Amino acid sequence: MVFFAVLAAVATGCSNGGSSPSDTTSAAASSSVIAQTGGPTDVPLKDGCGADYLGKLSLREKLGQLLTVGITGQSDALNAVGTDGVGGIFVGSWTDPSLLDATQLDAVKAKAKVPLMVTIDEEGGRVSRAKNKIGASPSARVIAQTQTPEQHYENTLTRSKALVGLGVTVDFAPDVDVSSQPDDSVIGDRSYSSDPQVVTTYADAYIRASQAAGLGAVMKHFPGHGSGSGDSHTGSVTTPSLDQLQNVDLVPFRNLVTSGAAVMVGHLDVPGLTEPGVPASISPAVMKLLRDGTGYNAPPFTGPIFTDDLSGMAAISDRLSIEEAVEAALVAGADNALWISSKAVPSVLDRLEQSVSDGKLTTDRVDASVLRMARYKGVQLGC
């Protein structure tokens, strides 16, 4: 679906804020992660589909399209886009709020060689980065208790149009986690309900409204954070087993995987699915489950896969440096690596170029991800 039709040019879920952690970690851990196999397989382009678009980009520029980074303000954003060529910027709680302005963001978009994503966390409730611009909204749990799905659609449509008016193009929402945990837990009231059908109904309304406004939606946190053992911002999180997730946490994803929304994968250890020390965000098995669908009785997922924040959340940053984590995520099958600072972009791109040279990250995988991101941005590829 075309989400960026409103653009003339050319979304943590992730972090709850905070600064980037140290990039010090074990090279041995990185090597073991990247050696994992079994992720989705991308095939070469057929019938020249997207060849013209890909032909405009060097390898480093292609790799830049697979990165979304947090920025502090307009100057930082101009450098990340104009100099480093990232495909997306992330407006967080630490970002100068004056950047949320169409004029400022248009200047940043003008520096991009191909359409730029301007992403934000705007779920409503306690995860709301634009409430001072577009007003506050209740939490998902309160919405499901006090609004009909039709009312939620209309309210979301109004807020999504307001975000687009500010220059935002992607919202890292809705949260489709199924949870009965207390309101103030890491998911808690960010979840519509402990009933997966209720979650499906209200998330569907959110996605349809976002799309009607020309705003990209991103479901999170696959394969389900709602019953996790803790907070992935502060440490590792273990979910119920894959078998237990099938009839609860995975239901909204199964129901909505063809909705046109992208999917964000969380930093979750899933018994029966992930390998020890390899959370979902960098797990080939998780990417394959989502992409193929057969492991949870869902249609194949053809849209882009985002990671949750790779630098500001201890569930991943305690294990790998940002350079290692981004490489591991893309090798595993993610299409877009998200983190909260632009500082490491040059070293990440250096690492990814070396990964392609070494054959760890294949050119077919890179090209397929670049084209998925292009389609999500509304680029017409002629196929």
Name every residue whose Cβ is closer than 8 Å to that of residue 153 and which is 6 or more positions away in sequence.
Answer: 205, 206, 208, 209
Residue 7's pLDDT band (cuts 50, 70, 90): very low
Instruction: Return phi, psi of residue 381, to 5°.
Output: -100, -5
Q: What is the CA radius of gyration of the chain?
A: 19
E strand map for 185-243: 216-222
pLDDT of residue 339: 97
Confidence of residue 152 (pLDDT cuts 50, 70, 90): very high
Question: Using an 8 Å Cβ cutoff, are 74 and 104 in contact?
Answer: yes
* The token pair that represents 145 in the structure block: 């208790």
Q: What is the dihedral of CA 270, 271, 275, 279, to 10 degrees?
A: 20
Query: Which residues are identified as catalytic?
Result: 233, 308
pTM: 0.89
- The reported pLDDT for the residue numbered 45 is 55
Answer yes or no: is 9 within a domain: no
Lowest-confidence segment of 94-108, 251-265, 312-326 by average pLDDT? 312-326
Does a structural domain hold residue 20?
A: no
Predicted local confidence at residue 236, as pLDDT? 86
Structure tokens at 160: 């999504």
CA dist 162 and 19 (Å) reads 28
pLDDT at residue 111 above 70?
yes
What is the tens place of the pLDDT at every residue in 57-109?
A: 999 999 999 999 999 999 999 999 999 999 999 999 999 999 999 999 999 99
Q: Which run of H or E residues covers position 307?
A: strand 305-307
Strand 122-124 with 127-128, pairing: antiparallel
Q: Please determine, for residue 19, whether its predicted confidence score (pLDDT) is greater than 70.
A: no
Contacts of 148 (CB under 8 A, 6+ apart): none
Whether 11 and 172 have beta carbons less than 8 Å apart is answered as yes
* Domain-embedded: residue 21: no
Distance of CA 221 to the CA centre of its chain: 9
Candidates 299, 288, 216, 210; CA nearest to 253 is 299
Looking at the domain assignment, is residue 249 inside a domain?
Answer: yes
Q: Is 238 left (phi over 0), alpha (psi -120 to 50) or beta?
A: beta
Q: In this structure, what token pair is assigned to residue 210?
A: 């976002």
Residue 239 has pLDDT above 90, yes or no: yes
304, 371 in Cβ contact below 8 A? no
- Name residue 238's amino acid: T
Task: Report pLDDT for 328.
Answer: 97
Q: pLDDT above 90 covers what percent of the chain?
A: 82
- What would the mean pLDDT of 127-151 be, rounded to a whole number? 97
Domain that holds residue 217: 27-376
Residue 7 lies in a domain: no
Closest to 244 (Cα-Cα) out of 229, 234, 263, 232: 229
Share of the chain above pLDDT 70, in %: 88
* pLDDT average, residue stretch 37-42: 51
pLDDT digits (tens, 9 = 90+) for 202-217: 999 999 999 999 999 9
- On whether the CB atoms of residues 174 and 149 are closer than 8 A, the answer is no
pLDDT band (50, 70, 90) for residue 38:
very low
Q: How far, in Å, CA of 100 to CA of 167, rounded? A: 7
Which of 1-15, 272-286, 300-314, 365-379 comes out lowest in average pLDDT? 1-15
| Residue 93 contacts residue 309 (beta carbons within 8 Å) | no
Q: Would 139 be classed as within a structural domain?
A: yes
Q: What is the pLDDT of residue 312?
A: 84
Domain count, the chain: 1
Residue 17, pLDDT > 70, answer no
In a domain, 111, yes or no: yes
Give the mean model confidence (pLDDT) for residues 224-240.
89
- Tell me the average pLDDT of the chain: 89
What distances in angstroms separate CA 181 from CA 178, 226, 233, 239, one per listed residue? 9, 7, 17, 13
Let me know: does 257 contact 293? Beta carbons within 8 Å. Answer: yes
CA–CA dist 55, 48 (Å, integer): 11
CATH number of domain containing 346: 3.20.20.300
Q: Does residue 126 register a pLDDT over 50?
A: yes
Is 303 within the bounds of a domain? yes
